[in-house]
Structure 1
Amino acid sequence: MRRIIGLMSGTSLDGLDIALCTIYGSGKESKLHLEKFTTLDYPADFRDRVRQVFAKREIDQQVLCGLHGQIGVLHGQMVNQALSGWDVPAQDVDCIASHGQTVYHAPRHLTNDMRFPDSTLQIGEADHIASATGIITIADFRQKHIAHGGQGAPLAVYGDYLLFSDPAENRFLLNIGGISNFTFLPSDQSDQQAYATDLGPGNTMMNQYVLEQYGLEMDRDAHIARSGTVEKQLLTALLTEPFLDQSFPKTTGPELFNLDYLKQAQSRTGQLDIPSENVMATLNMFSALAITQGIKRAAKDIEQYTVFVSGGGLHNELLLEHIRASLNGARVTTFSELGVNPDAKEACLFAILANETLAGAPANVSAIKDSPAVCMGKVSFPY
């Protein structure tokens, strides 16, 4: 048995998810109990600083270098704050699993630059986390995946496969963060393999647009999108991106799906001056269709399946309404049905990755399609 804290900071930049997990066993015998969970918000000036380097090709290297240390220090302080609030001593925690903050994701199919291998960059120096907390910290999980032929994302399939496979049910574990992705877990009756893939935009374009136009971090309760009308011509233009039709598995990021992508589609359709609420309504529908068209393609040979939803997009009821309407016939439910807080899921999955680093074996995940069988993460000791 190990007590592991999983940390997740996504592309939405809203805050740090902190999950204290008790994990029993390893591999397919793994059992996870979520003891405590909290999300601590980032200060506004910190978000602004991260946005200076986030998903940008040209940046101030000094800001990037400084943020690498600052994020580590901040995350360490946030872990200490959470432990104090939970009245859990640091010495009772075996390790921390830190995802870090993604600032650039560059698979070659996206960059078309063959000079470099597939690459991704998550910052938040783990030595600072370990030093601040006194707890062994495992971080930088995505690099091993790339080194063994993967694209660094999505990694959720490893924990999903170990924890949530079901012999009788075909499952799509849909996570709607900044980018949407799913893990497909076939039943024992299926001749398919488990895999994970990105789908396209989740919250990222909606969040970027509402920040630009309204100064808000998100369209809470889809209030703005509900007040608008979907612009069908713009929606059609948004859906023409070749990535959306590529075979699975695949990976992408805000480097592709961003405000420049939106404005190019508006320019092509002559819709640069449409009401902002209509843009939000269209972006909401765009995310929903990018998700559901992908799931339908993956499920074309499957008679029955269930979609379990997690991530920030779970709280966007309009987005879920669109998804349910498009996937009529499939059961779409919340991830909490599987016994884990949907908001904590990703942080928990990184705790599982750290557990596999400490006690697992690559063979535990050898049955996952097109994904290297590896144990990931680098270890930072506090002293």
Structure 2
Amino acid sequence: MNNQIEKLYLKALKEERLIIGLMSGTSMDGLDIALCKVKGSGGNTEIVVLEFKTGSYTNDFRDKLKSIFSKRDADLELVCLMNEHIADVHARLINEALAEWDIDPVDVDIIASHGQTIFHAPKSLHGKSDYPNGTLQIGDGDHIAVKTGIITLSDFRQKHLAAGGEGAPLAVYGDYLVFSKKGENRVMLNIGGIANFTYLPSDLNASDIFSTDVGPGNTMMDQYMQQQYGKFYDEGAAVALAGKCNDHLLTALLSNEFFDLTFPKTTGPELFNLHYLAQAQKVSSTEEIADQDVMATLCHFSAQAIAGAIQKCFGNDLSVQIYMSGGGMHNRLLVKLLKDKLPFAAFYTTQDLNINPDAKEAVLFAVLANESLCGTPINFGNRQGVPSVCMGKISFPE
């Protein structure tokens, strides 16, 4: 037996594993690194986050990412080079984090790397009948494995596509294993660049759960802040709170067939971006409204997209526990609007479930890697968009 395969086999047999989960989202502010202690698998999974940090990206690196992110005409040579460069940067940030935490890399069993999404193209977006669903995450797993010395699982979304899914959202798998609770209906709401949620039924029936994108979370607000104010995001919702929602623009923003699609569905900044905003302003004759009013309206747009999707699933008499994570949970105006629109729901964050909300996405990929290593596919029923598969490609360091 190849010694690398033997090492992988022995790790799968361990009672407890150290797994690093990685996540770099559409905000591109840095690499989330979660060092997790994982026991068991499937419904017996137990996970504890031992360490967490976000390794910061330099402005130069972020600019290079943005130059190829969500662009149909991206420079193919740069895409090729960035596939390697991203992995090298991520490996360096992992090594720095391990040194900071005084953790020997040989003690880490697995790295679970999401990679950097640069384009997401489900059929519902590309509309080309001759082509399948598509998505592309770069940041090669072999480079991470070799430069850290740790076996790496990566490129999780491709198996989801191959088995009939859209490649996103993948939260349904980890959410079910980590956060389900008998007797309590839960919604795990992640407000990242794109907002998505997972419904976890109180009876723990895997065939009834689902995860879906619902529309923009922070992506359009962040893009507008960067364009108009030169800031990465609206800290404390200060700009949005200084403005007033424009009902005409809000109506135009909500007028897209995506919101009428059935669940589960997926989307991305390929649709919800500043071009989408410009078109909505043109249709609604609101090109001249104040910047703070645009920001206020974008915040209301995200809130309505999220609340509308939850109401669509459960009605107005919503008796459910909503656990938030992602950068949007720090936007106080957005959270207030959600609470106003969903008065029957109880709002928490995943910190109330002992998982740092900022670490949640990275933790979920650690769970996916653990399942690929020692679990079995969970039966989510024969449903479109939720294939019962294990995910991740294996890269050996030697």
For the criterion TM > 0.5, the same-fold answer is yes
Displacement of 1:279 in angstroms is 0.4
Q: Which amino acid is the alignment partner of residue 289 of structure 1?
A: Q
Displacement of 1:365 in angstroms is 4.2
Q: Distance in 2 between matches of 1:303 and 1:114?
A: 38
Residue equivalent to 1:88: 103
Question: Bigger CA drift: 300-309 or 218-227?
Answer: 300-309
Residue equivalent to 1:65: 80
Residue equivalent to 1:13: 28
Instruction: Show the 5 A alignment for 1:197-236.
Output: 197-236=212-251
Instruction: Show the 5 A alignment for 1:124-139.
Output: 124-139=139-154
Q: Identity, % of aligned pairs?
A: 52
Task: Please tell me whether residue 326 in structure 1 is matched to residue 359 in structure 2.
Answer: no
Q: Distance in 1 between matches of 2:91 and 2:205?
A: 44
Residue equivalent to 2:380: 366
Q: Which amino acid is the alignment partner of residue 291 of structure 2?
A: S
Q: Is contact 2:30-2:57 (8 Å) kept?
A: yes
Q: Is contact 1:195-1:369 (8 Å) kept?
A: no
Residue equivalent to 1:36: 51
SS in 1 for 2:308: helix
Q: Is contact 1:5-1:93 (8 Å) kept?
A: yes
Q: Distance in 2 between matches of 1:191 and 1:13?
A: 33
Call closer, same or farther: CA 1:37–1:9 in 2, change over 3 Å.
Answer: same
Q: Distance in 2 between matches of 1:117 and 1:333?
A: 38
Residue equivalent to 2:71: 56
Residue equivalent to 1:111: 126
Displacement of 1:301 in angstroms is 8.6
Q: Which amino acid is the alignment partner of residue 167 of structure 1?
A: K
Call closer, same or farther: CA 1:191–1:53 in 2, change over 3 Å.
Answer: closer
Q: Is contact 1:6-1:19 (8 Å) kept?
A: yes
Q: Distance in 2 between matches of 1:218 and 1:327?
A: 25
Q: Distance in 2 between matches of 1:293 and 1:78?
A: 39
Residue equivalent to 2:328: 313
SS in 1 for 2:195: strand
Q: Is contact 2:180-2:204 (8 Å) kept?
A: no
Call closer, same or farther: CA 1:368–1:202 in 2, change over 3 Å.
Answer: farther
Displacement of 1:299 in angstroms is 1.1
Q: Distance in 2 between matches of 1:331 and 1:7?
A: 30
Q: Is contact 2:218-2:328 (8 Å) kept?
A: yes
Q: Which amino acid is the alignment partner of residue 206 of structure 1?
A: M
Q: Which amino acid is the alignment partner of residue 76 of structure 1?
A: A
Residue equivalent to 1:304: 319
Q: Which amino acid is the alignment partner of residue 258 of structure 2?
A: F
How big is each residue's C-alpha offset from its partner over 1:353-381, in whole Å with a ceiling of 9 and x where there is no partner?
A: 0001110111x243585410101000001
Call closer, same or farther: CA 1:227–1:166 in 2, change over 3 Å.
Answer: same
Q: Which amino acid is the alignment partner of residue 358 of structure 2?
A: D
Instruction: Show the 5 A alignment for 1:146-161.
Output: 146-161=161-176
Give the alignment partner of residue 192 of structure 2, picking from 169, 172, 177: 177
Q: Distance in 1 between matches of 2:293 and 2:169?
A: 31
Unaligned runs of 5+ in 2: 1-15
Q: Distance in 2 between matches of 1:301 and 1:326?
A: 9
Alignment TM-score, normalising by the size of structure 2: 0.94
Alignment TM-score, normalising by the size of structure 1: 0.97
Instruction: Tell me the number of residue pairs that the alignment of Structure 1 and Structure 2 aligns.
Output: 382
Q: Is contact 2:207-2:380 (8 Å) kept?
A: no
Displacement of 1:259 in angstroms is 0.3
Residue equivalent to 2:6: none
